[in-house]
Amino acid sequence: MPLDPADLTARLIRCPSVTPAEGGALTLLQAELEAAGFDCTRVDRNGTANLFARWGAKGANRSFGFNGHTDVVPPGDAADWRFAPFSGTVAEGRIWGRGACDMKSGVAAFAAAAVDFVRETPPDGAVILAITGDEEGDATDGTVALLDWMTRQGERMTHCLVGEPTCPSIMGEMMKNGRRGSMTARITAQGVQGHSAYPHRARNPLPALVTLLDRLARHDLDQGTALFDPSTLALTTIDTGNTASNVIPAQARAALNIRFNNLHSGASLTAWIQAEAARVQAETGVDIAVSVKVSGESFVTEPGWFTDLVADAVEAECDHRPVLSTSGGTSDARFIKDHCPVVEFGLVGATMHKTDEMVEVAHVHQLKAVYRRILERYFAA
């Protein structure tokens, strides 16, 4: 009997797997996959739950992989939801609940497609599912842990599809063949506290910090490339913690986030920020410290056989040929790109992370059909 992806989605939503809690979601998937003949291994690390599942021989000539996550962001106030956020209610042709869109439905669709495929047409090769519980968190012990474990065990995907939502408004309109890089810089300006009536006896860190932020924000990073939109820099916070209007604070802090294309790297942008900070420090006498966390570098999977195979399957099932895009935020594809060629295709993402998150039942079945067609074409090639 075919595995119903909509029913599996609803059951997964009923697992309260808010990062970093597993909530029973991976346990549920493991039971379904093992019943279909998949070899499953829990690859938990530092309290994060992950699941590796493989049908077929280890080290097979061809191993198609799916990647996704079962962890979800917090639902907020449950009273604001039409249906309880972990109820998995099916109503009005939709499945409601936290994770319905991002991305328990995607995981359910590729799990159902993989189960039916290996049962009905066992391929010459392997099908791998790498599912994490740490995508919405720090992402240090999720897909990274799975890939580390796979390397130690000699497991390998030859190609991988990440099932994140990729379509802005219509099923089939967009797939991702790359992502921008992402980094956060935290800046601390250290001066000397003093009375606002005697500013010459203090060293105010705020003008120095504001000068630096203005220079960074006004800088034109680039105009984009053939594969990427222009890079962006967003100031996200400025803090002093000063509640007194007659006191010059000793310290001020700020943070910014940069989404960057392939004209830059995390290292080059870090060097630029540090150089600008050093200039302002020299001009003002205010000590400025910069700390940077690079969440991922930009990457692209070049258009070709693999992207065409996925696009052809999407077009056949959705009547839309997806455009290739590198827009949006980050995903775990940023880790997989060092392991094998990777693309992303999934559902319409309009309600992800929102109150009353939901997914169309018909779209979940459609997505399963896309994934099934991709598997059939991949192993027939």
Rounded Cα distance between 115 and 243, Å, is 60
The residues that bridge with 287 in the sheet, in sequence order, are: 190
Name the packing angle between helices 305-318 and 361-380 (round to 10°).
Answer: 140
Structure tokens at 226: 């053939």
Provide the 10 A C-beta neighbour count for residue 331: 26
Q: Which of 184, 331, 179, 208 is nearest to 269 (CA)?
A: 184
Rounded Cα distance, 267 and 54, in Å: 37
Cα distance between the two ends of the chain: 27
Q: What are phi and psi of 323, to 5 degrees?
A: -80, 150
β-pairing, 39-42 with 50-55?
Answer: antiparallel
Render the burial of 240-263: b for 16+ CB within 10 Å, e for the rest.
beeeeeeebbbbbbbebebbbbbe
Q: Which residue has the tokens 């700020």?
A: 254
| Enzyme catalytic residues | 71, 135
Contact assessment for residue 214 and residue 260, using Cβ atoms and an 8 Å cutoff: no
In Å, how far are 113, 298, 363 from 225, measured between CA atoms?
Answer: 36, 12, 33
